[in-house]
Structure 1
Amino acid sequence: MATAAHSGVPAKAPSRKDLSGPALRTFFRIADAWGLKEAEQMKLLGLDSRSTFQTWKRGAVAAIPKDALERISYVMGIYKGLKMLLPRTANEWVRKPNDAPLFAGRPAIERMASGNVADLYVVRQYIDAQRG
Structure 2
Amino acid sequence: MSSQVIENTAIDNINAAGLKAVLNIFKKWECSNEQIQKILSVSRAALHNYKHNPEKAKLTADQLERISYILNIHATLRTVFSNPENQYGFMKMPNNNPYFNGKTPLALIATGKFGILYEVFKRIDTMRGGAW
Same fold (TM over 0.5): yes
Runs of 4 or more off by more than 4 Å in structure 1? 12-16
- What's the TM-score once normalised by structure 2's chain length? 0.82
Structure 2 residue 42 is matched with structure 1 residue 22: no
Match of 1:53 among 31, 47, 54: 47
- Post-superposition Cα deviations, 1:59-108, rounded to whole Å, max 9, x if no partner, equal 25243111111000000000110111122112111111100111110111
What residue is the counterpart of 1:43 in the other structure?
Answer: 38
> Which residue of 2 is the match for residue 34 of structure 1?
29
Alignment of 1:58-97 (within 5 A): 58-59=52-53, 61-88=56-83, 89-97=86-94
Q: Is the contact between residue 16 and residue 65 of structure 1 (CA under 8 Å) also seen in structure 2?
A: no
Q: TM-score, normalised by structure 1?
A: 0.82
Q: 1:116 aligns with which of 113, 117, 121?
A: 113
For residue 97 of structure 2, what is the amino acid of its counterpart? A
Residues 50 and 57 of structure 2 are in contact (CA less than 8 Å); yes or no, is this contact kept in structure 1?
Answer: no
Q: Can you give the 5+ residue segments of structure 2 that lack an aligned partner in the other structure? A: 1-6
User: Unpaired runs of 5+ in structure 1?
Assistant: 1-11
On the 8 A contact 2:69/2:118 being kept in 1, the answer is: yes
SS at match of 1:114: coil
Higher Rg of the two aligned structures: 1
Q: Secondary structure at the match of 1:94?
A: helix
Match of 1:26, SS? helix
Question: Judging changes above 3 Å, is the alpha-carbon distance between structure 1 residues 93 and 68 closer, same or farther for their aligned structure 2 residues?
Answer: same
Cα drift, residue 44 of structure 1: 1.1
RMSD: 1.8
Alpha-carbon distance, 1:114 to partner: 1.1
Taking the aligned partners of 1:73 and 1:13, their CA distance within structure 2 comes to: 19
